[in-house]
Amino acid sequence: MASAFRAKKLDLGGFVNIKVIRDHTKRKAYEQFEPQRQALRYIIRNTSLPQRMRTQAQLQLAQTSCYTRPTQIKNRCTMGGVGRSVLRAFRMGRFQFRLNALEGNIPGVKKASW
């Protein structure tokens, strides 16, 4: 079921890992179904619409695949696929960030010393 969202050919360029592929697939599925989800959410939140319609929208939203939910998306390290302590601004885990910063790959980042 969930593999239906996965691209037939790998479309990632950097570090690849099954967890990274999964997360990427979820991101793309969310992008695809976002307008539909927002429309259903609008129907649910609009109190001027008939109650029956709103309940139906609730059911429909609950029945969509979990891959289309934004809460399923997790920021992972783009260099190593690590899911913990990922620096959002650099899209890197703490250790990859340290390695790349010491190597001088990240512009503007310098080891502090005083």
Partner 1 sequence: MASASRGRLLELAKLQCSIFSTTFNPNRQRLGNKILRQRLRGPTLAAYYPRRSTTVEDVIQEFKKFDLAGFNEDEETRLESIQIAKLRGKGAPKKKRTPSDTKKKGKR
Residues lying near partner 1 in the complex (CB under 8 A) are found at 10-14, 20, 23-24, 27-28, 30-32, 34-35, 38, 41-48, 70, 73, 75-76, 78, 91
Question: CA-based diameter of the chain, in Å?
Answer: 66
Using CA of residue 53, residue 64, residue 32, residue 84, what is the dihedral sign? positive
Minimum CB–partner distance for residue 40 and partner 1 (Å): 10
Minimum CB–partner distance for residue 80 and partner 1 (Å): 12
Q: How far apart are CA 58 and CA 108, in angstroms?
A: 47
Q: Which is nearer to partner 1, 4 or 112 (CB)?
A: 4
Q: Which is nearer to partner 1, 7 or 102 (CB)?
A: 7
Residue 111 DSSP class: -
Q: Which is nearer to partner 1, 33 or 109 (CB)?
A: 33
- Enumerate residues 6+ apart whose C-beta is below 8 A from 9: none
Q: How far apart are CA 49 and CA 54, in angstroms?
A: 7
Minimum CB–partner distance for residue 75 and partner 1 (Å): 7
Q: Which is nearer to partner 1, 31 or 95 (CB)?
A: 31
Minimum CB–partner distance for residue 112 and partner 1 (Å): 28
At residue 27, φ and ψ (nearest 5 deg) are -60, -45
